[in-house]
Amino acid sequence: MKISFRGDYALKAILDLSLHYNKGLVRIQEIADRQDIPIKYLEQILLALKGAGYLNSQRGAKGGYYLAKEPKKIKLGEIIRLMEGPISPITCVSKSCYKRCNEETKCVFRPLWNKIRSLTEGVVDQVSFADMCRDYETKNKKKLDMYYI
Amino acid sequence: MKISFRGDYALKAILDLSLHYNKGLVRIQEIADRQDIPIKYLEQILLALKGAGYLNSQRGAKGGYYLAKEPKKIKLGEIIRLMEGPISPITCVSKSCYKRCNEETKCVFRPLWNKIRSLTEGVVDQVSFADMCRDYETKNKKKLDMYYI
DNA sequence: ACTAACCCTACCGACTAAGTAGTGTTTATA
DNA sequence: TATAAACACTACTTAGTCGGTAGGGTTAGT
């Protein structure tokens, strides 16, 4: 799996909205400023997230976005799959795999890719945005720098 | 981590040469045929692998490639890093990370990416091409189809 | 000398990522 | 009801990468 800017932005946007869950509407501009994301690009991403049912919005003056689900019910993996596609080191599912795996090698690497995929899924499908909010607040409270290199 | 065709081809080429380890020279054409890789593309890949010290070659008629190291001393991770770059879900090492991680989010996702990276490395840095050869032969001997969907 | 093989560089078409730009459409509120 | 703030949508752009091709150059066995 690889996280592109698009996916990274989406995760940050959902985190931002999770931190404002049940606190009213949040304007795109606010998210863009706080998370340092180009606003017009963010606009498209939020639209996609809304299309997938994660966000609701209100148009017009005083409008904005808000989370359509509880943060604890959104797992990181959902957002990653939505933005990046399947979580697997190789695009090797059923039919399309046969193109890569010929008779000779008999796809001897496949079990490894499956292993990596399931380990990765074990991480991203376990963690919710409620967890991330908790981490975020803990970190800010304690002013920890341990996560920085 | 994501495996591109280039990386996939490199792994297959090294596997092929591992299966012929200490059995003389192997022509590019043979590898290309067996592994179903476009020969001119494979040529470039083998050149890169040679440049990195994994292969030796003999030019001229009756020439060919051969492995420069024992299969058991080559880990998959080495080849993957060589062809694909660093194994990490995010290009987020030291300085370059600061571009993605601003004050607001304080890179709250980073520990997860590190987790995934180390799990992935735990797989690819543990397995050698000697292991893959063993798997390959076991599979061919038993005519197992369990790895195919 | 001839030819089989590796060596090297350049090029190319298609695709994607990461935006930008511009124009609609809706709604609160003065 | 005019206005402005905000989301909605579509189109375009620009740079880079991926997955190759093409075409010689060089070396070495016969």
DSSP secondary structure string, A19-83?
A: HTTTS--B-HHHHHHHHT--HHHHHHHHHHHHHTTSEEEE-STT-EEEESS-GGG-BHHHHHHHH
Partners of B64 in the β-ladder: B58
- The CA distance from B66 to B80, in Å, is 19
Interface test with chain B among A99, A109, A123, A148, by most B beta carbons within 10 Å: A109
Q: What is the CA radius of gyration of chain B?
A: 18
B57 CB inside 7 Å of strand C: yes
Higher pLDDT, B89 or A14: A14
Which of A46-61 are b and which e, b meaning 16 or more Cβ less than 10 Å from the residue's Cβ?
A: beebeeeebbebeeee
User: Which is it for the CA torsion A92, A120, B121, B91, positive or negative?
Assistant: positive
Q: What pLDDT was estimated at residue A93?
A: 42
Interface test with chain A among B112, B136, B143, by most A beta carbons within 10 Å: B112
For residue B57, the SS3 value is: strand
Question: Is-contact B87 B81, C-beta < 8 A?
Answer: yes
Q: What pLDDT was estimated at residue B94?
A: 39
Q: What pLDDT was estimated at residue A46?
A: 98
Q: What pLDDT was estimated at residue A146?
A: 46
Tally of domains in chain B: 1
pLDDT per 10-residue tile (average), chain B, 149 residues:
95 98 98 96 98 98 98 98 93 50 71 94 98 92 49
Q: Is A100 on the interface with B (CB under 8 A)?
A: yes
Instruction: Please indicate whether, in this complex, the C-beta atoms of B119 and A119 are within 8 angstroms of each other.
Output: yes
pLDDT in tens, A54-80: 999 999 999 999 999 999 999 999 999
Q: What is the CA radius of gyration of chain A?
A: 18
Q: State the pLDDT confidence band at A90, using cuts at 50, 70 and 90.
A: confident
For residue A98, the SS3 value is: helix
HSE of A107 in the Cβ direction (CA atoms, 13 Å)? 24
- Average pLDDT on A7-12 reads 97
For residue B128, the SS3 value is: strand
Domain harbouring B118, CATH code: 1.10.10.10
Question: Is-contact A10 A79, C-beta < 8 A?
Answer: yes
Q: Pairing between strand B55-58 and A64-67? A: unpaired
Of A8-12, A30-34, A46-50, B109-113, minimum mean pLDDT range? B109-113
Q: Which residues of A touch B110 (CB under 8 A)?
A: 147
Q: State the pLDDT confidence band at A102, using cuts at 50, 70 and 90.
A: low
- Which structural domain, as residue segments, surrounds residue A49? 5-145
Q: What pLDDT was estimated at residue B96?
A: 42
**How many CB atoms within 10 Å of residue A40?**
9
Q: What pLDDT was estimated at residue A107?
A: 83
Q: Is A144's pLDDT higher than 50? A: no
Among partner residues B105, B115, B119, which is closest to A35 by beta-carbon distance?
Answer: B105
Task: Report the amino acid identity of residue A81.
Answer: R
- The CA distance from A106 to B135, in Å, is 10
Q: What pLDDT was estimated at residue B139?
A: 81
